[in-house]
Amino acid sequence: MIQLEHVSKAYQQGVPALNDINIHIEQGEFVFIMGRSGSGKSTLIKLLLKELEPTEGEIYIDGQRLSKITHKKVPDFRRNIGVVFQNYRLLQDRNIYDNVAFAMKVIERPNREIKKRVPLMLSLVGLAAKYRSLPQHLSGGEQQRVAIARALVNEPKILLADEPTGNLDDFNTGEILRLLEEINERGTTVVVVTHDKEIVKRMNKRVITIKKGVVVGDGKWGDTREA
């Protein structure tokens, strides 16, 4: 599903942000990518979304070699990856129904499909009753659930979550993690990028640990070295 082969990325200064990375993630896996600030996590996310190109190596996602995807085809490629960010990135002037529907309207899905899919997604994340609410009237945990619903509404094969619990308290962190696990159990490949050791230990999933641009651990938490 996701495959990085000898991937390196250096910026103009010549210092590698990632150095000879080899990662294989199978379809349906739930994987944490963990590392401190500056470890290369943000660069990795941008490479997976084809926002950056690797200096060396190849990346394959769902059988596609990213170096062969033309600029024109990038939007089509990204439809198979739902993305959730730490700061939610919701449209503040639209209610949560319209926030989720927007992701479908952008790719010109028919209205009848939007009217069917959006309530299903809001129900999945437990917010069906609040479909008319504006983001500012929701808690941080609820806003993140809206962001997850938006990321999933177009049925991507992969959900990439970038520090999804970074702004949440312990209770809401637990709720979001349980939701991500449920999404994974439904068949979506889930990749969570984080620096938070506590949530990694709590979930007991596969952990790929990155330190200074190098993979230093790959396995369950107890079997990996800390970043």
Q: Quickly state the pLDDT bin for 37 (edges 50, 70, 90).
A: confident
In whole angstroms, give the CA distance from residue 224 to residue 119.
40
In whole angstroms, give the CA distance from residue 164 to residue 46.
16
State both tokens at 1: 């599903």
Reported residue count of the chain is 227
pTM equals: 0.92
pLDDT given for residue 15 in this prediction: 78
In whole angstroms, give the CA distance from residue 84 to residue 190.
11
CA distances from 26 to 1, 2, 105, 191, 211 (A): 5, 7, 30, 11, 23
With residue 47 as reference, give the H or E element that holds it.
Answer: helix 41-48
Instruction: Say which residue, 155 or 13, is predicted with more confidence.
Output: 155
Instruction: Say which residue, 222 or 126, is predicted with more confidence.
Output: 126
pLDDT given for residue 227 in this prediction: 47
| CB proximity list for 133: less than 8 A, separation 6 or greater | 95, 96
Q: What is the pLDDT of residues 4-27, one digit of tens each?
A: 999 999 987 777 899 999 999 999
Summarize the confidence of residues 66-79 as an average pLDDT. 94
Pair 150, 102: CB distance under 8 Å: yes
In whole angstroms, give the CA distance from residue 12 to residue 26.
33
Domain segments of the chain as ranges: 90-155
Q: Does the pLDDT at position 221 exceed 90? A: no
Summarize the confidence of residues 169-182 as an average pLDDT. 94
DSSP 59: E
